[in-house]
A and B are shown apart, each in its own frame.
Chain A
C-alpha cells in the first residue's frame, strides 16, 4: 500500500450559519463543528437544505448569514473534495482518462490512478468509455476521484446513491480510512452509514422548519 499521509489537525467550524437558495432560508441558524477524524452526517427530508449546506461549505453558494471556517488549514490551496449529485464524468473519455485528468487538475497527491480504480472495483474497465458505465459504476468512478488527490475535507452529497450493497461497504471503508488519516467529512445521506467506530459520527438533523418533524 501507499504510505499514508496524515493531515494536520483541522476543524470545520460554522457559527450561526444560515443557508438558502435565491434569498430564501432553508436552514435555521446552524452552529456545528467537525474536527479531524470526525464525520458529520446530515439527515433530513427532501428540501431541508442538505445539498445547499454542502454547496455553501464548498464555497459555491454564499451563506445568507453567519460564517464558517476551516481552522488550521492552509488557505492558499484547495482543501476540500466536493462529491455531488452530478458526477462530473465525461462520457466520451475513457474511465482512466477521466480519472487521470482529475488527478492532474487536483494535484497528484493521493493514490495512483490504477490503485484507485482497483479500490473502487473498476480496474477491469479502465479503457472503456465512461459513457458505457452504469449509474453505480459512474458513482464509483466519481468516488475514485477522492482517492487520487488527498484533501482533508470531504463534502459528500448522497455518496451511496445508485450504489449496490457492496458499494455501501466501499463508501464506509473509504470514509473510515479517510478519518483514520486525520481527514474530516460531512455527508448528506438518506441511507444510514455505519462506521465501525460510532464515536466518530455525529448526526445533524435538518428540516426543523417542517412543523411536527421529529427532532
Chain B
C-alpha cells in the first residue's frame, strides 16, 4: 500500500512539475471546440444539436495527445525495467499511472468544459448531462489509452501508432457518451458508459502490464 501511494505521489509530482503539459491539453480541448462554430457557420440551432458530439470528439483528441507521456519517459530513462522488479506488481504500477493520468488529463478537460459548452451555445440542462457523461466516460478512454500506450511503448515513435490502435476501442465510448447527452433514453446510455468505464479500468492495468512485460527492451 505504501508502495502504491509512493507511485501515485511520484506520478503526480512528475505530472504537475511537467511544465505546461496540462494547460496545453486544456487549451487544445477548448480550441477544438472553438473552431467548430467557424467551420460550420454561426447557426445556433445546428451548433446546439452537434454540441454533444463536438465535446466528445474534442475530449477524445485531447486525451490522445497526453497518451505518449504515460509510459515513454519511463521507458526511455530505464525506469520501466526497474519497475518490473519492484515489490509492487506491474499491474499496480499501471493502475497508479492510470489514476494519475485520468486526474491530470481528463479532469482538467471536465473543468474546462463550461467554456466549450458556452462556445457551442449549449443550454444548461444539456451542459449538466455533458458533464456527467464526460465524468463517466473518460475513465474508459484513459484505460484504453493506457493499453495502447503500453503496447507501443517499445516501438520507437510508437506514440503515433497508439491513437490508431485505440480508436476502434473508443468508438463505443463515443457512441454512448454522446447518446447519454442527446438520446431520449439517456439514462440507459449513461449506465452503459459507466459499465464500459468500470470494465475498462478494471482490465486495463493487467492488459497493459502484460504488454509491457512481454515487450522486449
Contact = CB atoms under 8 A, between A and B. Distances in A.
Contact of A105 (B7, B14, B76, B77): B7
Interface in A48-73: 55, 58-62
Nearest to A93: B13
Nearest to A145: B82
A128 B9 CA distance: 18
Contacts of A61: 216-217
Given A60-B81, A82-B81, A106 B87 contact: yes
Contacts of A93: 10, 13-14, 17
- Chain B, interface SS category: helix
A90 interface: yes
Contact of B216 (A60, A97, A104): A60
Interface residues of B, number: 26
A92 B216 contact: no
A88 B82 contact: yes
Given A55-B217, A92-B17, A105 B86 contact: yes
A108 B2 CA distance: 10
Interface residues of A, number: 31
Contacts of B9: 101
A28 interface: no
A90 B78 contact: no
A139 interface: no
Nearest to A89: B77
B18 interface: yes
A78 B18 contact: no
B10 A82 contact: no
Interface in A67-124: 77-78, 80-82, 84-90, 92-93, 97, 100-102, 104-108
B87 A58 contact: no
Interface in B1-52: 2-3, 5-7, 9-10, 13-14, 17-18
Given A60-B216, A101-B10, A105-B83, A86 B78 contact: yes
Contact of A92 (B2, B7, B14, B76): B14
B161 interface: no
Contact of B82 (A55, A77, A82, A100): A82
B76 to A, nearest CB: 8
* A55, A82, A86, A100 interface centre (most CB from chain B within 10 Å): A86
Contacts of A60: 81, 84, 216-217
Contact of A59 (B18, B84, B88): B84
B85 A82 contact: yes
A102 B85 CA distance: 11
Interface string B69-100: 00000101111011111111000000000000
Contact of A100 (B6, B84, B217): B6
Contacts of B217: 55, 60-61
Contacts of B5: 104
Contact of A58 (B76, B77, B85): B85
A88 B14 contact: no
Given A60-B216, A93-B14, 13 more contacts: A55-B81, A78-B85, A78-B87, A80-B85, A82-B82, A84-B81, A86-B77, A88-B77, A92-B18, A93-B13, A97-B13, A104-B5, A104-B6
Q: Which 3 A-B pairs have the closest CB atoms?
A: A86-B78, A104-B6, A88-B79
